Amino acid sequence: MQRIEYGPDPSQFGELTWPPGAPRGVVVVVHGGFWKAAYDLALGRPLAADLADRDWVVWNVEYRRVGNGGGAPQTLQDLTAALERLRDPELDLDLSTVVGLGHSAGGHLATWAGGGGVLTQVISQAGVLDLESAHRDRLGDGAVEAFLGHPPGPADAAYDPIALAPLDIPVWCVHGRADDVVPLSQSEEYVDRVQAAGGRAELVVVEGDHDAVIDTGSAAWDRTVSILDLVG
């Protein structure tokens, strides 16, 4: 594992893990935690280790969060910069397959970043994909308002995945049936919006709660791995 900075702030770095075998592609892991500084990329390390063992190069990304200089637009700027860092010739990465894998708020960020031209697929794990409905439902105890700095409105469409749907790349929405932190409706409504607009999105409902999808010993995680097998 190699720590690589993509900016001057202490939170602007990622951990790049190389596999033991020939790389199948790159997975960009974006951790969740409702964009709050209390949570960091340690959440993504078990995923990174598991995926590297499966011959993926893994870029586990940290970013500025609410409470340490983050929020909109800073957090989104960080995701853009972290993805652009992968283009560095010194890293010598094959970017023909770059999958964004984000959990919860990380699912929001990975899906949002899917329009930036680096990612070739997105897997949202229990992602917050509709900021307005997430705000109405008070997800994360008002996390959306804290992230935006105000209640969401039409001017925030550029930050909201459902408003940006469909992307030009496929999106898989993996979501636990028993999730009581981010409701399944977040993924259902996003997929419905994408499909109605002629885009490519698939809802993958798994058994388990909010964190089952990032438990590398769970059947829910196995479903995510099976999606990666399709693309790499």
Does 232 have pLDDT greater than 90?
A: no
Q: Residue 124: which H helix or E strand, with range?
A: strand 121-125
CA–CA gap between residue 80 and residue 74 (Å, rounded): 10
Q: What is the tally of structural domains in the chain?
A: 1
pLDDT computed for residue 130 by the predictor: 98
pLDDT computed for residue 97 by the predictor: 98
CA-wise closest residue to 51 among 84, 21, 91, 11? 21
User: What mean pLDDT do residues 58-82 have?
Assistant: 98
Q: Which two tokens stand for residue 149?
A: 């700095």
Rounded to the nearest angstrom, the gap between the alpha carbon of residue 86 and the centroid of all alpha carbons in its chain is 16
What confidence tens digit (pLDDT) does each residue in 18-43 have?
999 999 999 999 999 999 999 999 99
CA–CA gap between residue 173 and residue 6 (Å, rounded): 28
Q: Which two tokens stand for residue 71?
A: 């929020």
pLDDT above 70 as % of the chain: 100
pLDDT computed for residue 156 by the predictor: 98
Burial classification of residue 200, based on how many CB atoms lie within 10 Å of its CB (0-12 exposed, 13-18 middle, 19 or more buried): middle
Say which DSSP state 128 is in: -
User: For the domain that residue 121 is a member of, what is the CATH number?
Assistant: 3.40.50.1820
What confidence tens digit (pLDDT) does each residue in 91-117 have?
999 999 999 999 999 999 999 999 999
One-letter amino acid of 6: Y
What confidence tens digit (pLDDT) does each residue in 170-218 have?
999 999 999 999 999 999 999 999 999 999 999 999 999 999 999 999 9
Tell me the pLDDT band of 69, cut-offs 50, 70 and 90: very high
Q: Write out the residue range of the structural domain in which residue 27 sits.
A: 2-231
Q: Do 25 and 56 contact (CB within 8 A), yes or no?
A: yes
Mean of the per-residue pLDDT values of the chain: 98
What confidence tens digit (pLDDT) does each residue in 135-183 have?
999 999 999 999 999 999 999 999 999 999 999 999 999 999 999 999 9
- The structure's pTM equals 0.97
User: What mean pLDDT do residues 121-142 have?
Assistant: 98
